[in-house]
């Protein structure tokens, strides 16, 4: 960025944006420092192990369960090998496609 080539208006706009960002970061650092002081005070009062246990028991975000998907493809040479058609293609699919003439030959009849 060549500041010498910028117009006064663009320089003023850039200055305001930089100043606002610096202020935002100072405020965030101030909040972080306040939280760290409060945690240090709690650790001193109740012990570090208690604070760690409390932090470990905080409610974590629930993992969304995915619905089971029926397999769409089956290996004609080994019926135990199936694939839903999602995710990375298994090696047996690539081999069976070459051997049996395409992916449609591997499809499980509905």
List all residues 6 or more positions away from 105 whose beta carbon is below 8 Å from its beta carbon: 76, 96, 97
Give this prediction's pTM.
0.42
Largest CA distance in the chain: 74
Give yes or no: residues 46 and 90 share one domain. Answer: no
Cα 63 to Cα 9, 32, 87: the distances in Å are 49, 28, 19
**Is 40 inside any structural domain?**
yes
Tell whether 48 and 7 lie within a shared domain.
Answer: yes
pLDDT tens-digit readout, 13-58:
888 888 888 888 888 888 888 888 887 888 788 888 877 777 776 6
Chain-centroid distance of CA 63 in Å reads 12
User: Do 83 and 50 sit in the same domain of this protein?
Assistant: no
Domain holding 81, by residue range, is 73-106
Strands (E), the chain: 73-75, 78-83
Specify the number of domains making up the chain: 2
3-state secondary structure of 83: strand
């Amino acid at each position: 960025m060549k500041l010498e080539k910028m117009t006064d208006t663009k320089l003023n706009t850039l200055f305001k944006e930089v100043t606002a960002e610096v202020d935002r970061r100072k405020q965030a650092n101030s909040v972080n420092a306040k939280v760290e002081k409060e945690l240090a005070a709690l650790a001193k009062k109740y012990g570090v192990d208690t604070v760690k246990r409390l932090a470990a028991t905080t409610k974590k975000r629930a993992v969304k369960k995915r619905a089971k998907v029926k397999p769409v493809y089956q290996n004609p040479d080994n019926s135990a090998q199936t694939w839903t058609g999602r995710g990375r293609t298994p090696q047996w699919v690539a081999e069976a496609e070459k051997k049996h003439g395409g992916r449609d030959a591997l499809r499980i009849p509905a």
